[in-house]
Amino acid sequence: MRCVGTKVVVVGGGSTYTPELVDGLCDVEDRMVVDDLVLLDPSDLRREVVGGLSERILRARGWSGTFSATADPHAALEGADFVVVQLRIGGQAARHVDETLPVGYGCLGQETTGAGGLAKALRTVPIVLELAEEMAARSNRGAWLVDFTNPVGIVTQALLDDGHQAVGLCNVAIWAQRRIGHYLGVDPDAVAVEHVGLNHLTWIRSARVGVDGDGDGDGDGDGDGDRGADRLDYLFERFGPELELESGIPVDLLRLQHALPSYYVHYYYQHDAEVAQQSAPGHRSRADVVAELETKLLQEYRDPALVSKPAALSYRGGAYYSLAAVRLMASLHAGTGDVQVVDMRNEGAIPGLPDDAVVETTAVVDATGAHPLPQRELSLEMLGLVQHAKAYERLAVKAACSGSRDDVVRALLANPLVGQYPLAADLANDLLGANRQHLPRFFPS
């Protein structure tokens, strides 16, 4: 057993995200020294191209650890301390189906919410659970699984329900924190946001500057203080058009709720307008756009003179994911008790949700895990939507594990973006048929 340093495994290491992630690992060496980094990916091409650039970035930054890229999960997971999961089962082709098939039914086409999000969960949850079982057998005692695979809330719920040591991670909160810091003209790390909800269904209900991590300024981490002025009203007044564009929500609603929702909330509040836009002639799915960008990125990654992440990577999506991921791992490793936004069990933090429900909110992160901070009650319109979506998420986990079409129909009936019959039954049939090759539990033959 190694006495110093850590072994980090990136599952889906051939992703074009990976160079940004490995670059970030060099920024936390004061808290976590990585001496063994493994990229696990089934694609020979991506292991060669993405792995090549990743190692060049690390060496250019003076990193002296052991680097490898492999298709063998057994070898990769052996002795791991952290396993970062960023899978995409079916690639951009499956994502294209997620984003287009539901539109024909008058429903939102999106890869993490609505019917498309359920299809992605059905493909993903069984694979991640199998990976977690293999990790439990081969990794070091106390190893952490960090899930960045969408739909993060559903995947993390499945992992924790199955007893695995896992934390879910999304880039939305850290991206919003950085945008708010930009608008206020301050160091983003000085901005404390009150971020609450479920993955891709969250609101920032306050933004304070120069205070402790829970946003109240008293340094005790319990969220009950009142120091540090909330800057949301100022942001709505001064930067209303910008925030409306970034969130997809009219500024009048931002003021009404006194909250800044994540971009994904507009899929609920502006559902019909979004479906109309997706139905318009010439509309391109995000999958098509990303596939085109990835082709260009992989071509750029091949350049042996490239030793840093290219500027074009910023258009890939997932901004600041690497920063959030490395900070999370460093806090878990060093037990520093930082306040971060992650996906974990509620444990009473958000009133109105069960303790075992996976939520996304602020937490103290130490060597024993992520511990959610107590939150104010959600307004009724927020709570109702969150409870509705959480019921769907639990049914989505059940459907992914059972391989039952009836469970898929139940999940779609509970989904706030579907919720009708026989629409749910018809969608279930088409989604299962379109994903047949990726759903062995549903099609065992």
Q: Which residues are catalytic?
A: 264
Q: Give CA–CA dist 282/292, Å, rounded.
A: 16
DSSP alpha helix (H) spans, 335-444: 380-402, 405-414, 423-434
Q: Give CA–CA dist 347/370, Å, rounded.
A: 11
Token code pair at residue 380: 């009724």
H helices then E strands: how many in the chain? 16, 12
> With contact defined as beta carbons under 8 Å apart, do 262 and 176 qualify?
yes
133 three-state secondary structure: helix
Hey, what amino acid is at 387?
Q
> With contact defined as beta carbons under 8 Å apart, do 195 and 341 qualify?
yes
Instruction: Please list, in sequence order, all residues whose beta carbon lies within 8 angstroms of the beta carbon of residue 13, skipping any fewer than 6 positions away.
Output: 38, 39, 40, 41, 46, 47, 50, 51, 54, 69
> With contact defined as beta carbons under 8 Å apart, do 329 and 146 qualify?
yes
Token code pair at residue 217: 């300024």
Q: What are phi and psi of 242, to 5 degrees?
A: -65, -45
Q: What are phi and psi of 228, to 5 degrees?
A: 90, 105
Query: Which is it for strands 66-70 and 6-11: parallel, antiparallel or unpaired?
Result: unpaired
Helix, strand, coil % in the chain, rounded to nearest 5: 50, 15, 35
Q: Give CA–CA dist 64/389, Å, rounded.
A: 46
Instruction: Please list, in sequence order, all residues whose beta carbon lies within 8 angstroms of the beta carbon of residue 180, skipping any fewer than 6 positions away.
Output: 188, 191, 193, 204, 207, 231, 235, 260
Q: Give CA–CA dist 76/322, Å, rounded.
A: 20
> With contact defined as beta carbons under 8 Å apart, do 336 and 373 qualify?
no
Question: Order of strands across the sheet with 191-198?
Answer: 191-198, 201-209, 260-261
- CA torsion angle for 155, 158, 159, 162 (degrees, to 10)? -170
What's the chain's length in residues? Answer: 445
| Closest residue by Cα to residue 393 from 328, 444, 343 | 343
DSSP 171: S
